[in-house]
Chain A
Amino acid sequence: MTEMSAMSRKIIQNLAETLSKQVKHFNKTEAECLIRLFNGLLGEQTDRRVGLGLDRSKFRNILHNTFGMTDDMIMDRVFRAFDKDNDSYISVKEWVEGLAIFLRGTMDEKIKYCFDVYDLNGDGYISREEMFHMLKNSLIRQPTEEDPDEGIKDLVEITLKKMDYDHDSRLSCADFEKAVRDENLLLEAFGTCLPDAKSILAFEQHAFQEPQER
């Protein structure tokens, strides 16, 4: 048993070494902590295909419980953004890479990440329909109004007007980047897809300080 754990520790350390070189923002110890955390989460998973990584529902639980996200659709999109190889599982590498942006991403990285989250069909543009889809629950519906979606439609229009610099009725990544650079608040324009400062702090404390305590 001790042999096993010693071996796995060795494996983890090697993996951490490689990952910390591939991924920005984390040093080796931090990467190691994240890998341990990943392994811990995997252990809880009852799925037999453990080898593939975290599945969607497990990941969504983390997003919800640890990072306080609520919007189902956005959480799905975040999962897709983490799951780079589209195999519906998040591997340990995808986990560390994703968290790098999630926790410590630069503005550029975050813009790219958010755009990917919002570009629902992955065609490189955020269209009117996609916006409508993402914003449809953002206003309280007035039961008195003839068309309850009217407010949302208008919201989509004013957002387009503000962010669509090349006037092609959809947001390209360049549009999005320009708008965010102009006004940082627009980074998460179509729904919260990044954790706030408080939960980042809580997560990092939890994840990176545990080993010392043990």
Chain B
Amino acid sequence: MGVALTRAAQWTMGKLEVSPLNEALLNDIVNFVEQFNSRHPQEAKLVFTEPLQWTTALQASDFTSEYELSGSSVHSQDTDKDGCPLLQLIPPDISVRSFSHLCKVVQLANDSKLKEVWACLEANREPVVKMLGPNFTTAEVSDSSPEAEFKVKLLLILQQLDTQLLNSSITQLSQKVRLSPAAVKRDVELLKSVCGAGEKRLLKSVRYTSDYEFSNGCRSPPWRQAHGEIAYLIIEPCDTEPLFITCSTAGVYLNSGIKQEGEENAYERKSDVYKDLVTLLKSKSLHFTENINEQVVFLNLRREIKMNLFCFHKSPGGGTAAEEFSESSSESEEDEEQSERRGESHTDLPSEYWQIQKLVKYLKGGNQTATVIALCCMRDFNLAQETCQLAIRDVGGLEVLINLLDTDEVKCKIGSLKIMKEISRSSQIRRAIANLGGLQTMVSILDSPDKELKCLAAETIANVAKFRRARRTVRQYGGIKRLVELLDCVPDSAMLSTEQEKDVEVACCGALALWSCSKSTRNKEAIRKAGGIPLLARLLKSPQKNMLIPVVGTLQECASERSYRIAIQTEGMIEDLVKNLNCDNQELQMHCASAIFKCAEDKRTRDLVRQYEGLQPLVVLLNEADNKQLLAAVTGAIWKCSMSMENVVKFEEFKALERLVSLLTDQPEEVLVNVVGALGECAQRPANRATIRKSGGIPPLVSLLTGTNQALLVNVTRAVGACATESENMMIIDRLDGVRLLWSLLKNPNPDVQASAAWAICPCIENAKDAGEMVRSFVGGLELIVNLLKSPNKEVLASVCAAIAKIAKDEENLAVITDHGVVPMLSNLTNTVNDKLHRYLAEAVARCCMWGSNRVAFGEAGAVAPLVRYLRSKDPSVHQATAQALFQLSKDPSNCIAMHENGVVKLLLGMMGSTDEVLQEAAAGCVANIRRLALANEKAKYG
């Protein structure tokens, strides 16, 4: 109740106002008090700490026999501990000390209930405090006397009421229109348009009391803006006295006559609050009301047109939009702006605002000397603070700073850039600078002979080019080429002259700017074309960290492009990247690792990393578990490097696997993807599979199968699959129900996940005990996998064929998949062109021939002729599988005829001479079957 009364209820000058909202609140309170006795009889008897006292309209005669009357005064029979009566009336004052009596008073008051409660609340601004004592909520509630218990209960009841009251008043408040400075301005413009001298005018005049408009659109002084007041108006209607009007966010009302600022008592409200100016005028001016209706249509029309115009202006030019989207960038979202986070009434302008405004004035109206002084003083403000940044922008300082860059005064340019370099850390300022065309000028400054100026311009560009459009602007104005030219210096000689040192500094700033710019694909291209790569390679030999970080940052950003990856390898940058892995700066280490991560897809690069002994520092960096970005880059580099088995051997030596396994838990996904990827690669070597098991890696791997990140799932399935090739591992996987999890990943919509899961299933079936039984236990599992043969993805098809070949080893399962139509589906695939698929398809065909009439069915479906063609493949593993399939198929005579017709014999004869015994045997068996058929045929013919 306390909060509701102070916050929601509308008070003026210590009185409760007569307003609908207050009335509603009071009615609720009256109801509450009236029902208190019956609802909470025990709490009602509680004696208040202090009496509620107010001036009442009740007379002694109103009281019933329950009370003792003595003359005009009344008191209750029950008293408190000290003998004071709980109710005492000495007209016109009444004091009450319990809810039971309050309740009775309200009942006695009948028609004047509302008035009594009203008077009571006005007199007792904090009723709860009086009832329960000032410190009740905060002080010790520990004493467990029944009285304290009741007090707590009463407090809870009152708080409940409070919430209830607030809730109902909020619904009321929210129905009201809240005015904004823009809405007021619009209304005033409209009203001005209906003023004039003619017969038809609605008003004589409309004017603001102040001509000054603050940047937030308000015209009231800041200390009044705190009250939500927007502006003051003086409106002269045609038929009444001038109206002095306050427009506030809550609505508009008459004030006591504000003619100018500064008359304190004039701000007081003198009328009801109306929702807008027109409504207020309607109630105050008869002339206005009568004539408004004629013009209201016109007014509305005007408003509509204005709003349409407004919308039109806001839509951006169509031409640039298309290009905007064509630009790809690696961090496209980073800066693509959150809209401005400022409330519409900016009430408390800090003193910095005014000081900065003054300095900007000097910048505008000063000669070079005054400008330099003003610039230097502006730098003394805390430019990292948002208020100062926005103040500079809002008072028009950015325009001046950018204009200064176009002058010939070097000092002014330096001063201006020093400020812009700082404030461009704010994304709003960055946008403003770009919008004002600052980038173009800064790019042209890069040609200046003054090195300090060049540095500052490049640094500012580095800050501004954090969003796409700015990066494009830099490129379009030839900035990339100029920035690349800045890189030209001698970074590594020990003895540098002062001039050379300055050159190094310039190069460092240039690298910073290129780093920001390199986040757009086309800029990467532009840097390369401008000859940036050899320069970056040279700077990479620099011993200075502040130089290396932007250089390596740019390189790793650009390494997403193939051309850069090749260049990084051929220009010998891997050696330097590896060298810097050993430095003591984590940011630099991260960028180096990240560059290696991106480049090590290439085998030659992986070998170089090993040759330059980069693998050990990578493993050492795995211990930096707190820096997740570093960890993600390092694990990524390890993953890609482990694609070479020579590297895996090294990793074994450095005990990398144990570390990697320990990183399987509690890591962000970008780390997990890489860790699991690395484990998957390492597990291709048998010894490592045991290591993973021994260091407890299998349970976390299996549990990762339940994740949703697709990249992670691809890697996890691969790792689990690799582990499953060892039967001891398989036991653990089986126990953790890993095969079921893998199987359910076949339902994943991503084909990469499907394929990877199917590959992983193969070793599982091969190594699990009772694999057939296990597979059958997956309800609908066989149908699911057979249906994947309809996938358009070759890799999925190959993996599923491989899995089917394993499944078909179990006769019962073979029968089931035959029922699901595996034969025609496999036959359909025989004409696809893909060596990998051919091999596993042939394996699957060979296995599926083992059931019933499948051999005949394959022949009828036309699978034989394509299979014969597979023998012409260059891949020996295809030969083996195909020969086996043909051997199985050749057990059916009509297949033999088809094979013979397709010229299989000559091909098989060649393969019989192969060193591969399995191939030999299958080829020979097939030829034997064909031969036998021929012999039988001859025998039949010639008897």
Contact = CB atoms under 8 A, between A and B. Distances in A.
Nearest to A137: B367
A135 B370 contact: yes
A158 B365 contact: no
Given A155-B373, A185-B375, A138 B366 contact: yes
B358 A138 contact: no
A196 interface: yes
A146 to B, nearest CB: 16
Contacts of A138: 366-367, 369-370
Contacts of B368: 192
B377 A186 contact: no
A137 B449 CA distance: 30
A115 interface: no
Given A139-B362, A155-B362, A196-B410, A186 B376 contact: yes
A95 interface: no
A158 B373 contact: yes
B572 to A, nearest CB: 39
Nearest to B414: A185
Contacts of A53: none
Interface in B350-391: 358-359, 361-362, 365-370, 372-377, 379-380
Interface string B323-362: 0000000000000000000000000000000000011011
B379 A191 contact: no
A151 B367 CA distance: 13
Contacts, number: 62
A112 B376 CA distance: 20
Contact of A190 (B361, B362, B369): B369
Contacts of A1: none
Given A197-B410, A197-B450, A183 B365 contact: no
Contact of B365 (A139, A154, A162): A139
B377 A135 contact: no
A192 B408 CA distance: 14
B411 A188 contact: yes
A183 B379 contact: yes
A103 interface: no
A4 interface: no
B396 to A, nearest CB: 16
A140 B365 contact: yes
Given A162-B377, A185-B414, A197-B450, A191 B369 contact: yes
Contact of A139 (B370, B372, B377, B415): B370
Contacts of B414: 185
Contacts of A142: 365
Chain A binding surface SS class: helix
B631 to A, nearest CB: 41
A196 B449 CA distance: 12
A22 B528 CA distance: 53
B366 to A, nearest CB: 5
A188 B358 contact: no
A23 interface: no
Which residue, of A158, A186, A197, has the highest number of chain B Cβ atoms within 10 A?
A: A158
B90 to A, nearest CB: 65
A151 B362 contact: yes
Contacts of A154: 358
B369 A192 contact: yes
B450 A135 contact: no
A189 interface: yes
Which residue, of A139, A162, A191, has the highest number of chain B Cβ atoms within 10 A?
A: A139
B411 A185 contact: yes
A197 B409 CA distance: 11
Chain B binding surface SS class: helix
Contacts of A137: 367
B590 to A, nearest CB: 35
A13 interface: no
A88 interface: no
Contacts of B411: 185, 188
A136 to B, nearest CB: 10
Contacts of A155: 362, 366, 370, 373-374
A186 B380 contact: no
A169 interface: no
B365 A151 contact: yes
A130 to B, nearest CB: 14
Nearest to B418: A185
Which residue, of A151, A162, A185, has the highest number of chain B Cβ atoms within 10 A?
A: A185
Contacts of B372: 185-186, 188-189
Contacts of B359: 158
A39 interface: no
B911 to A, nearest CB: 83
Which residue, of B358, B365, B369, has the highest number of chain A Cβ atoms within 10 A?
A: B369
B711 to A, nearest CB: 51
Interface string A114-153: 0000000000000000000011011110100000000100
A192 to B, nearest CB: 7
Contacts of A139: 362, 365-367, 370
Nearest to A131: B373
Interface in A147-204: 151, 154-155, 158-159, 161-162, 183, 185-186, 188-192, 196-197
Contacts of A189: 369, 372-373, 376
B449 to A, nearest CB: 7
A155 B374 CA distance: 8
A183 B376 contact: yes
Nearest to A191: B369
Given A185-B415, A188-B411, A197-B410, A135 B369 contact: yes
B366 A158 contact: no
Contacts of B369: 134-135, 138, 188-192
B897 to A, nearest CB: 96
A186 B367 CA distance: 14
A205 to B, nearest CB: 14
Contacts of B370: 135, 138-139, 155
A151 B365 CA distance: 10
Interface in B83-125: none
A71 to B, nearest CB: 9
A142 B358 CA distance: 14
A193 to B, nearest CB: 10
B368 to A, nearest CB: 7
Nearest to A189: B373
B685 to A, nearest CB: 62
B409 to A, nearest CB: 9
Nearest to B377: A158
A190 B449 CA distance: 25
25 contacts: A135-B373, A138-B366, A138-B367, A138-B370, A139-B365, A139-B370, A142-B365, A151-B361, A151-B362, A155-B370, A158-B373, A159-B373, A161-B377, A162-B376, A162-B377, A162-B380, A185-B372, A185-B375, A186-B373, A188-B369, A188-B372, A189-B369, A189-B373, A192-B368, A197-B449
Given A139-B365, A155-B374, A196-B410, 5 more contacts: A135-B373, A138-B370, A158-B373, A159-B377, A185-B375
Interface of B: 358-359, 361-362, 365-370, 372-377, 379-380, 410-411, 414-415, 449-450
Q: Which 3 interchain pairs have the tightest Cβ spacing?
A: A138-B370, A140-B365, A138-B369
